[in-house]
Amino acid sequence: MKVVVQRSLAASCEVDGKITGKINQGMVLLVGFTIGDSKETVDYMVQKVLNLRIFDDENGIMNKSIDRDAASILSISQFTLYGDAKKGNRPSYSKALNGAEAIKLYDYFNEELGKEIHVETGIFGAEMKISLINDGPITIILEKE
């Protein structure tokens, strides 16, 4: 499982001209799954995301995790995180988990995050347009193999 975490001042997801998810301050998560991922993998990643200290404390040092009362998460499924372009110029997605299994883990991921913080989403498998004001910019890649 891979999650690209971006600290956000504002972000939204649009599908077919309609906003499906929108947040102000918080995190945008690009979420991908690979073969072998499980609910245990997701549980680990949920805790990692919620406790990741990428927000400034009173001294301007990145020492705080996301404020669960004042911030939100925009979670976007993205199988292309497992694109492999080592050979040739067209990425192979053979390491990406198939859609039927990935959607179950993606839904579980969002449900578990939602127990702790407000979560907005895109639409799994849809062509999405993501708008983001990246704060910092801060972008961290989390991976559980």
| Bridge partner residues of 141 (DSSP) | 4
Is residue 9 pLDDT above 80, yes or no?
Answer: yes
Which of helix, strand or coil describes residue 109?
helix
How would DSSP label each residue in 7-58?
Answer: EEEEEEEEETTEEEEEESSEEEEEEE-BTT--HHHHHHHHHHHHH---EE-T
CA distances 22 to 52, 72, 76, 132, 142, Å, are 21, 9, 11, 10, 23
Q: Which of 33, 78, 109, 121 is flagged as catalytic?
A: 78
Query: Could you say which of 1.10.10.10, 3.50.80.10, 3.40.1010.10, 3.40.50.300 is the CATH number of the domain covering 2-143?
Result: 3.50.80.10
78 is catalytic: yes
Is residue 145 pLDDT above 80, yes or no?
Answer: no
Q: What is the pLDDT of residues 25-78, one digit of tens each?
A: 999 999 999 999 999 999 999 999 999 999 999 999 999 999 998 999 999 999
State in Å, rounded, how far the first CA of the chain is from the last one: 7
Per-domain boundaries in the chain: 2-143
pTM value is 0.95
Q: Which of 6, 33, 55, 79 is flagged as catalytic?
A: 79
Q: What is the pLDDT of residues 100-129, one digit of tens each?
A: 999 999 999 999 999 999 999 999 999 999
6 is catalytic: no
Using the CB atoms, write b or e for 97-133: b if 16+ within 10 Å: beeeebeebbeebbebbeeebebbbbebeeebebebe
pLDDT band at 91 (very low <50, low <70, confident <90, very high): very high
109 is catalytic: no
